[in-house]
Amino acid sequence: MDYELHEGSIKLPEGFQDRTVNMFVMGSTLPAPLSITVSRDTLLPSEHLKTYVDRQVKMLSSKLRGYTLLNRKAVSLSTVAPLEGIQIDAYYMTEGRPYYQRQAAFLIEPERAIVFSTTSQTDFSVEQTQDWENLLASFQPRVADTSPANGSEQE
């Protein structure tokens, strides 16, 4: 598999799957006041997105102290080729600190999800909510390479 990184590209041996996580943080303090992550995941065989999200919420509830689901709603990814997904807003405590988290999951192909998350130490402001919506709307799906494999074309 040819894989594009921000810094370049690599060729992976057969059989590898993309389960990368990209993390972006605001500022240089730790913990960051706001972070955004993009991750990829594989659903269970024949699992629907709603069931996947329910399973993830249950797992988070068991691992994060005081995890509370605040909201769940339908959401779209991209304005170019919109994908329907599910967004959840939640709250939890870690090391005595409150965290607010917003996650949105979308099926990018059967049984493959892309999950966008943002986490803050305070409840999300109107500006942060608008930035989140703009981020999801800005998604541009990568166009599959349809050029011939050997590079030769008939004339």
pLDDT digit string, tens, across residues 40-66: 999 999 999 999 999 999 999 999 989
**CA dihedral (150, 6, 142, 47) positive or negative:** positive
Q: Is residue 90 part of a domain?
A: yes
Q: Is residue 155 part of a domain?
A: no
Q: What DSSP character marks residue 64? A: S
Structural contact between residues 54 and 43, judged by C-beta atoms closer than 8 angstroms:
no
Q: What is the span of the domain harbouring residue 23?
A: 18-138
The enclosing domain of 66 has a CATH number of: 3.40.1000.10
pLDDT digit string, tens, across residues 126-139: 999 999 999 999 99
pTM of the model: 0.85
**CA dihedral (43, 3, 139, 120) positive or negative:** positive
Nearest CA among 113, 60, 110 for reference residue 90: 60
Count of structural domains within the chain: 1
pLDDT digit string, tens, across residues 73-112: 999 999 999 999 999 999 999 989 999 999 999 999 999 9
Q: CA-CA distance, 48 to 75, in Å (whole number)?
A: 16
Residue 77: CB atoms within 10 A of its CB come to 24
Does the pLDDT value for residue 124 go beyond 50? yes
